[in-house]
Amino acid sequence: MEANPRFSDDASHIDQLILRPALGYQLTPTLSLWQGYAWIANYEPGYTQEHRLFQQLIYSNKFSTFKLLSRSPLEERWVQHAHWNSRARPNHASWGFSATGLSHNRHRRL
């Protein structure tokens, strides 16, 4: 379970709250597949809720000097008071090197 409170610009109150439980299956020692649900509450400018189903493929491999991690999620969204019902979109892929402190995030939206 992931809980992610996001604060307003002046950090005086929570602007958004995300709760994300998920179940995963280890396909290989370096590859896992996840299915989850996300509940998002937006408090500004008015209260709205969003529901998401997501699938995520995670590649993780530890080498002698660094660890490589890559996440590839796909989300389906249902937003309260929106003009559309749902959409599927690839979220983003990211990778990083934990030993060197070097990291990179690549965002791709369709």
The pLDDT tens digits of the residues spanning 40-58 come to: 998 877 888 889 899 999 9
CA-CA distance, 60 to 78, in Å (whole number)?
30
Look at residues 16, 19, 18 and name the one whose alpha carbon lies nearest to residue 42: 16
The confidence score (pLDDT) of residue 82 equals 66
Burial of 32 (0-12, 13-18, 19+ CB in 10 A): middle
The count of structural domains within the chain is 1
Range of the domain at 37: 2-107
Q: What residues pair up with 25 in beta bridges, in sequence order?
A: 33
pTM above 0.75, yes or no: no
Query: What is the rounded distance in angstroms from the CA atom of residue 90 to the CA atom of residue 69?
Result: 17
